Chains A and B, each alone.
Chain A
Amino acid sequence: MNDVDEVMTRAHHDEWARVVAALTRRFGDLDIAEEAAAEAFTTAVERWRADGPPPNPGAWLTTTANRKAIDRIRRENKRDDKHKEAQMLHDDIPAEPLGAIDDDRLRLIFTCCHPALAVEARVALTLRMVGGLTVPEIARAFLVRPATMEQRITRAKAKIKAAGIPYRMPAADDLPARVCGVLAVLFLVFNEGYLASGPDTDPLRHDLTCEAIRLTRLIRALLPQDGEVAGLLALMLLTEARRPARISAGGELVALHEQDRGAWDAALIAEGHRLVRERLAAAAAGAAPGRYQILAAINAVHTSARDIRDTDWSQVLALYDQLVRLDPSPIIALNRAIAVAELDGPEVALAIVDRLAEALAGYHAYHATRADLLRRLGRSRHSRAAYDRAIELAGNTGEIAYLTRRRAQLR
Chain B
Amino acid sequence: MRYLVSVIDDKSDPGSTDRRPAISAFNERLIAEGYWVFSGGLADPDVATVVDNRDERAVFSDGPFLESKEYLAGVWVWEAPDLDVALKLAAEASKVCDRKIEVRPFQ
Contact = CB atoms under 8 A, between A and B. Distances in A.
Interface of A: 114-116, 162-166, 170-171, 174
Interface stretch (B5-13, B39-47, B83-91): B83-91
B70 interface: no
B84 A162 contact: no
Contacts of A170: 84
B1 interface: yes
Contacts of A163: 83, 103-105
Contact of A162 (B81, B88, B107): B107
Instruction: Pick the 5 closest A-B CB pairs, nearest first.
Output: A166-B82, A164-B1, A164-B82, A164-B83, A165-B83
Contacts, number: 29
Contacts of B81: 164, 166
A332 B84 CA distance: 32
B84 A166 contact: yes
Given A164-B82, A166-B81, A174-B88, 8 more contacts: A162-B105, A163-B103, A164-B3, A164-B80, A164-B83, A164-B105, A166-B83, A174-B84
A115 B88 CA distance: 12
A116 B87 contact: yes
Contacts of A114: 83
Interface residues of B, number: 14
Consensus secondary structure, chain A interface = loop
A162 B82 CA distance: 10
A227 to B, nearest CB: 24
Nearest to A166: B82
18 contacts: A115-B87, A116-B83, A116-B87, A162-B107, A163-B83, A163-B103, A163-B104, A163-B105, A164-B3, A164-B81, A164-B82, A164-B83, A164-B86, A166-B81, A166-B82, A166-B84, A170-B84, A174-B84
A174 B85 CA distance: 11
Contacts of A174: 84, 88
A115 B83 CA distance: 11
Of A114, A116, A163, A164, most B-chain CB atoms within 10 Å: A164
A162 B104 CA distance: 9
Contacts of B1: 164
A232 B1 CA distance: 36
Nearest to A160: B83
Contacts of B86: 164
B107 A165 contact: no
Contacts of B84: 165-166, 170-171, 174
Interface string B69-107: 000000000001111101110000000000000011101
Nearest to A178: B84
A174 to B, nearest CB: 7
A174 B87 CA distance: 12
A116 B80 CA distance: 16
A165 to B, nearest CB: 5
A391 B102 CA distance: 42
A165 B80 CA distance: 11
A190 to B, nearest CB: 27
A116 B82 CA distance: 12
Of A115, A163, A171, most B-chain CB atoms within 10 Å: A163
Of A114, A162, A174, most B-chain CB atoms within 10 Å: A162
Nearest to A110: B84
A165 B104 CA distance: 12
Contacts of B103: 163
A166 B86 CA distance: 11
A170 B84 CA distance: 8
Nearest to B85: A166
Contacts of B3: 164
Contacts of B87: 115-116
Contacts of B82: 164-166
Contacts of A116: 83, 87
A162 B3 CA distance: 11
Contacts of B104: 163
Nearest to A171: B84
Contacts of B83: 114, 116, 163-166
Interface in B13-44: none
Contacts of A171: 84
Contacts of A164: 1, 3, 80-83, 86, 105
A162 B107 CA distance: 7
Contacts of B80: 164
A7 to B, nearest CB: 39
A158 to B, nearest CB: 11
